[in-house]
């Protein structure tokens, strides 16, 4: 698989404020990269640089083997062959759904445009809405049309800027899956930026975490979640119990017991371990040293607060069989843990 | 119209087919078209430059764009005529009315640009279109309804304007109607001409209604506003805006001050203060009277929506668009037929104000009334107040600030009114507007200056401020109004 997009050492400041520093990554043909970051973390700026709405201060952007942006040149957006799906869909309000989709197809004759539009309407499952105006569509439908519109000219890369942020939670997860399927069947290369961890992890082939304008970590969703490169990322990517520990005889000695590190550590190193709540197992035990102090019940699972020698920690348990408040338990850690030495 | 019916068909046709009538039609229409094109071009360009480009001194130029709202058209006409006698006739009317009306286009187009999501322009760029092609296929369609709609309002305004064209001595319908009535006591001609003018006006209203199809903006909280970098064009844009500032604001103000200073020694303070007191009297009486009836209608429309509200809205537009000269003359005819004792009394002047400005008052008063939550009314009812007591003790006090600013707004509009006051005022009563008009008509520029200055100071600038306040309240309240009417629906279902 070839590289469809490659960023090398891209930096950007607005006035005195540095927004992106030395950002490098590449996206393989036909894959979806999500960029996860807090709001104001430079995610949108990154997309705008790739789309050509802003110019890089230094570094280069290569698209399909062609340099589109560097410190000395910048192709205008209309010459880049990118698709863009902004947060609020931004459909052209005066044009029907089919006219919106065919807007970028003016180089084709009308028969070819029609074929393409029908194909895309089929793909997004909105064949009946060909002549509707944007104002008559629901939020989710608008986003589908916006994606079809972006896909119509067969762009090299599709850029999606928080495309689900304006939708309510239920619609969001449904549309997320649909969008993933649409992008897959169009075999599109795409970058999606979001501040929602669940969203970033669930639909991506690859996730890049943008922190303070730098790429903090990039990898598969699984590796990002199970092996965050530092304690802060571990906490950012979901609940994590962080407790101090010290390496003794190849294991990490903590107040929750001796734990096995992912990667072998030199003897005597002090640091922290980060444990996901689902890796804690609570065994009901009348002689247990820990006590259940609280419980948030979600149905399919529950988050149980336990007071231990290491302080209060949260454990995820199976909903129907989670222990009651006040029950004494013994806390076990399942599997190996991530260890972060104090530098 | 009643008058016209009495003349008989033959006379009517005779009156209408005169060559002179044709000339008036050509004059009125060509002026309307010219002013409309100029105002739409300038207002749209100003709005786009101020809201969507990277020009410098934005706040200043935004102010420049709306300040002409503070000058009644006849004050502007006076200011320009007194600069040079070359500014008169068609050219003078064109210039002055373009200055007066461009702010309406500016405000409408700015509002449309605010509702427009400029992200759609970025998307269009990524779909392979050049900046120019995007402006044509995306930006223009977004502001077209506002630009064309306000353009038709500009044409209506031009058609009904009396002050500027009469001072510029350009023969349009309004001036001809006034002259026919005043000079020759030829009321039949005046009535026939008025009929044609009404017909033209109705055509414009019909067209204006048709442009009201706009694509409801897809509701979003906040847009990122794209600022286009003008590059080498920035200088041209700044120069253009500055020239318009000089023509529309700087020269008129300088001219008024110049003549005020020149005429200072000969100013007749007795005359000025009498006109001032009369003007204030009409303003206050008119403001209170119109706002009183306006409030009643506004409460009816807002709180008891249904068969009336649609009709009231329609009437608002039509009366609003009828030229002041025509409305005033129709009152003259009407009163002479039925209650001659009212002719040339202040009571008749006030009645005419009521007819002219009630629509404005209702529009403005609907907002504060709609802002009072229906819930507090319902609470008042459960606490034992009947509907009238609830209005008096709860709704009106709660809406008081909005009501007061509506009274001020109407009063200030009354103060600036010229044609009806000129035609209907009792003999010997002069206001600032009529004094300014008569002095300018005989080229007594320095004698006219203090009236022009006072009109801007006591009516123009405050009206501009009140108007802006009302606008901002209206903008803020859109949401609240929506929710309160939603509540109304729910309570009705229950």
**pLDDT tens figures, A232-243:** 888 888 788 888
Q: Per the CB < 8 Å rule, is A142 touching B218?
A: yes
What pLDDT was estimated at residue B198?
A: 85
* A108 contacts chain B (CB < 8 A): no
**Minimal C-alpha gap between B142 and chain A (Å):** 7
Q: What is the 3-state secondary structure (H, E, C) of chain A?
A: CCEEEEEEEEEEEECCEEEEEEEEEEEECCCEEEEEECCCCCHHHHHHHHHCCCCCCEEEEEECCEEEECCCCECCHHHCCEEEECCCCCCCCCCCHHHHHHHHHCCCCHHHHHHHHHHHHHHCCCHHHCCCCHHHCCHHHHHHHHHHHHHCCCCCEEEEECCCCCCCHHHHHHHHHHHHHHHHHCCCCEEEEECCHHHHHHHCCEEEEEECCEEEEEECHHHHHHCCCCHHHHHHCCCCEEEEEEEECCEEEECCEEECECCCCCCCCEEEEEECHHHEEEEECCCCCEEEEEEEECCCEEEEEEEECCEEEEEEEEHHHCCCCCCEEEEEECCCEEEEECC
User: Which of A83, A85, A88, A132 to substitute to test the interface with B, most B CBs within 10 Å?
Assistant: A88
DSSP single-letter state for residue B248: I
Q: Per the CB < 8 Å rule, is B215 touching A107?
A: no
CA distance B448 to B438: 8
Residues whose CB falls within 8 Å of the CB of residue B261, separated by 6 or more in sequence, listed in order: none
B94 burial type by CB count under 10 A (0-12 exposed, 13-18 middle, 19+ buried):
buried
CA distance A275 to A313: 10
Mean pLDDT of chain A: 88
Q: Per the CB < 8 Å rule, is A150 touching B120?
A: no
**Minimal C-alpha gap between A74 and chain B (Å):** 14
Q: How far apart are the first and last CA of chain A?
A: 39
Q: Per the CB < 8 Å rule, is B122 touching A146?
A: no
What pLDDT was estimated at residue B222?
A: 52
B127 interaction partners in chain A (CB closer than 8 Å): 78, 83, 103-104, 149-150, 152-153
- B404-422: buried (b, 16+ CB within 10 Å) or exposed (e) per residue? ebbbbbbbbbbbbbbbbbb
∠ CA B264-B265-B266, rounded to 5°: 95
DSSP single-letter state for residue B222: -
**Could you read off the pLDDT tens digit of each residue along chain B, which spans 494 residues?**
556 655 566 666 666 556 678 888 899 999 999 999 999 999 999 999 998 899 999 889 988 998 888 888 999 999 999 888 888 889 999 999 999 999 989 988 988 888 888 888 888 988 988 888 888 888 898 888 889 888 988 998 898 899 999 999 998 988 988 888 877 666 777 788 888 888 888 888 778 777 665 555 444 445 667 788 888 889 999 999 999 999 999 999 999 889 888 877 777 788 888 888 999 999 999 999 999 998 988 888 887 776 666 666 666 656 667 888 888 888 888 888 888 888 888 888 898 898 888 888 888 888 888 888 777 777 777 776 777 888 888 888 888 888 888 888 888 888 888 888 888 888 888 888 898 898 888 888 888 888 888 888 887 777 777 666 666 655 554 433 333 333 222 222 22
- Considering the entire predicted model, what is its pTM? 0.77
What pLDDT was estimated at residue B424?
A: 86
Nearest to A88 among B117, B130, B141 (CB): B117
CA distance A307 to A120: 55
Give the pairing type, strands A32-37 and A190-194.
Answer: parallel
User: Which of B126, B211, B217, B228 to substitute to test the interface with A, most A CBs within 10 Å?
Assistant: B126
CA distances from B300 to A45, A288, B252 (A): 52, 73, 43
**Whether the Cβ atoms of residue B267 and residue B450 lie closer than 8 Å to each other:** yes
What pLDDT was estimated at residue B219?
A: 45
- Identify the closest residue of chain A to B144 by CA–CA distance: A94
DSSP string, B85-119: TTS-HHHHHHHHHHHHHHHHHHHHHHHHHHHS-TH
- A127-156: buried (b, 16+ CB within 10 Å) or exposed (e) per residue? eebeebbbeebebbbbbbbbbbbbbbbebb
Q: Per the CB < 8 Å rule, is B218 touching A81?
A: no
What pLDDT was estimated at residue B149?
A: 85
CA distances from A152 to A156, A258, B154 (A): 11, 56, 42
Of the candidates A135, A161, A21, A159, which has an alpha carbon nearest to the alpha carbon of residue B224? A161
Strands lying side by side in the sheet with A241-248:
A257-259, A251-254, A241-248, A270-275, A338-341
A77 interaction partners in chain B (CB closer than 8 Å): 122, 125-126
B223 interaction partners in chain A (CB closer than 8 Å): 88
Helix (H) or strand (E) holding B33: helix B19-52
B100 burial type by CB count under 10 A (0-12 exposed, 13-18 middle, 19+ buried):
buried
- Identify the closest residue of chain B to A134 by CA–CA distance: B218
* A134 contacts chain B (CB < 8 A): yes
The β-bridge partners of A2 are none
CA distance B190 to A47: 67
**Minimal C-alpha gap between B124 and chain A (Å):** 7
SS3 B245: helix
**Helix pair B187-210, B19-52: axis angle to 10 deg:** 40
Residues whose CB falls within 8 Å of the CB of residue A117, separated by 6 or more in sequence, listed in order: A98, A101, A102, A105, A130, A152
A237: its two tokens: 């990517």
User: Residue for token digits 């044009």?
Assistant: A95
CA distances from A196 to A84, A136, A205, A278 (A): 20, 28, 16, 20
Does the pLDDT of residue A319 top 80, yes or no?
no
What is the mean pLDDT of the segment spanning A8-36? Answer: 92
What is the mean pLDDT of the segment spanning A206-230? Answer: 90
Helix (H) or strand (E) holding B267: none
B456: its two tokens: 């801007």
Q: Per the CB < 8 Å rule, is A78 touching B129?
A: yes
What pLDDT was estimated at residue B466?
A: 67
What is the total residue count of chain B?
494
- Identify the closest residue of chain A to B216 by CA–CA distance: A135
* B119 contacts chain A (CB < 8 A): yes
What pLDDT was estimated at residue A295?
A: 85
B341 burial type by CB count under 10 A (0-12 exposed, 13-18 middle, 19+ buried):
exposed
∠ CA B301-B305-B308, rounded to 5°: 65
What pLDDT was estimated at residue B478?
A: 43
């Amino acid at each position: 698989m070839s590289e469809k997009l490659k960023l090398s050492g891209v930096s950007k400041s607005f006035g005195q404020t540095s927004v992106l520093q030395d950002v490098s990554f590449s996206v393989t043909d036909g894959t979806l990269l999500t960029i996860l970051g807090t709001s104001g973390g430079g995610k949108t700026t990154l997309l705008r640089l790739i789309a050509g709405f802003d110019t890089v201060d230094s570094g280069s952007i290569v698209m399909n083997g062609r340099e589109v942006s560097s410190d000395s040149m910048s192709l205008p957006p209309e010459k880049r062959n990118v698709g863009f799906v902004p947060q609020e869909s931004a459909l052209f309000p005066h044009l029907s759904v089919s006219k919106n989709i065919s807007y970028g197809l003016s180089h084709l004759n009308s028969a070819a445009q029609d074929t393409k539009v029908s194909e895309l309407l089929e793909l997004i499952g909105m064949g009946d809405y060909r002549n509707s105006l944007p104002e008559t569509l629901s939020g989710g439908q608008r986003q589908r049309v916006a994606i079809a519109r972006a896909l119509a000219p067969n762009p090299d890369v599709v850029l999606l800027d928080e495309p689900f942020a304006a939708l309510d939670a239920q619609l969001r997860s449904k549309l997320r899956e649909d969008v993933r399927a649409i992008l897959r069947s169009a075999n599109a290369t795409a970058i999606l930026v979001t501040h929602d961890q669940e969203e970033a992890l669930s639909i991506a082939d690859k996730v890049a975490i943008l922190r303070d304008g730098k790429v903090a970590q990039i990898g598969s969703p699984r590796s990002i979640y199970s092996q965050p490169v530092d304690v802060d990322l571990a906490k950012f990517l979901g609940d994590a119990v962080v407790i101090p520990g010290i390496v003794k005889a190849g294991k990490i000695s903590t107040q929750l017991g001796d734990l096995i590190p992912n990667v072998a550590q030199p003897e005597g190193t002090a640091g922290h371990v980060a444990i996901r709540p689902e890796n804690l197992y609570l065994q009901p035990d009348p002689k247990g040293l820990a006590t259940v102090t609280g419980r948030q019940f979600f149905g399919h699972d529950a988050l149980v607060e336990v007071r231990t020698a290491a302080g209060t920690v949260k454990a995820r348990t199976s909903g129907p069989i989670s222990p009651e408040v006040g029950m004494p338990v013994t806390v076990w850690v399942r599997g190996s843990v991530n260890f972060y030495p104090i530098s | 119209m009643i008058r016209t019916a009495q003349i008989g068909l033959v006379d009517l046709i005779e009156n209408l087919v005169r060559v002179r009538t044709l000339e008036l039609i050509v004059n009125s229409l060509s002026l309307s078209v010219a002013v409309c094109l100029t105002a739409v071009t300038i207002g749209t360009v100003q709005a786009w430059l101020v809201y969507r480009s990277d020009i410098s001194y934005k706040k200043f130029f935004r102010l420049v764009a709306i300040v002409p709202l503070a000058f009644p058209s006849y004050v502007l006409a006076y200011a320009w005529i007194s600069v040079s006698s070359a500014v008169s006739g068609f050219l003078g009317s064109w210039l002055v009315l373009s200055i007066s009306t461009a702010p309406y286009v500016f405000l409408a187009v700015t509002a449309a640009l605010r509702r427009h999501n400029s992200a759609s322009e970025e998307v269009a760029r990524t779909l392979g279109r050049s900046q120019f092609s995007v402006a044509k296929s995306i930006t223009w369609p977004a502001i077209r309804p506002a630009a064309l709609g306000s353009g038709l309002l500009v044409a209506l305004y031009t058609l009904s304007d009396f002050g500027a064209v009469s001072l510029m001595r350009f023969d349009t319908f309004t001036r001809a109607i006034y002259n026919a009535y005043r000079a020759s006591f030829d009321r039949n001609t005046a009535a026939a001409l008025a009929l044609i003018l009404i017909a033209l006006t109705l055509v414009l209203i019909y067209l204006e209604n048709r442009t009201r199809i706009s694509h409801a903006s897809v509701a979003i909280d906040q847009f990122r506003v794209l600022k286009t970098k003008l590059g080498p064009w920035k200088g041209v844009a700044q120069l253009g805006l500055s020239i318009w500032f000089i023509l529309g604001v700087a020269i008129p103000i300088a001219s008024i001050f110049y003549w005020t200073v020149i005429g200072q020694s000969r100013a007749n303070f007795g005359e000025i203060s009498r006109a001032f007191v009369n003007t204030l009297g009409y303003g206050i009486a008119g403001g209170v009277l119109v706002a009183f009836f306006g409030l009643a209608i506004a409460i009816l429309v807002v709180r008891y929506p249904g068969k009336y509200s649609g009709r009231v809205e329609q009437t608002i537009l039509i009366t609003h668009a009828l030229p002041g000269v025509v409305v005033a003359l129709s009152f003259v005819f009407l009163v002479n037929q039925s209650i001659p004792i009212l002719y040339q009394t202040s009571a008749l002047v006030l009645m005419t104000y009521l007819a002219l400005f009630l629509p404005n008052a209702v529009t403005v008063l609907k907002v504060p009334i709609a802002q009072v939550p229906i819930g507090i009314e319902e609470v008042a009812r459960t606490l034992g107040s009947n509907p009238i007591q609830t209005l008096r003790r709860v709704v009106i006090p709660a809406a008081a600030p909005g009501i007061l600013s509506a009274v001020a707004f109407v009063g200030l509009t009354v103060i600036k009114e010229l044609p009806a006051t000129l035609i209907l005022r009792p003999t010997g009563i002069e206001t600032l507007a009529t004094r300014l008009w008569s002095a300018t008509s005989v080229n007594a520029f320095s004698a006219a200056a203090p009236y022009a200055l006072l009109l801007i100071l006591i009516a123009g600038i405050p009206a501009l401020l009140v108007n802006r306040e009302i606008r901002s309240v209206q903008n803020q309240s859109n949401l609240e109004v929506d929710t309160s009417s939603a509540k109304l629906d729910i309570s009705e279902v229950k």
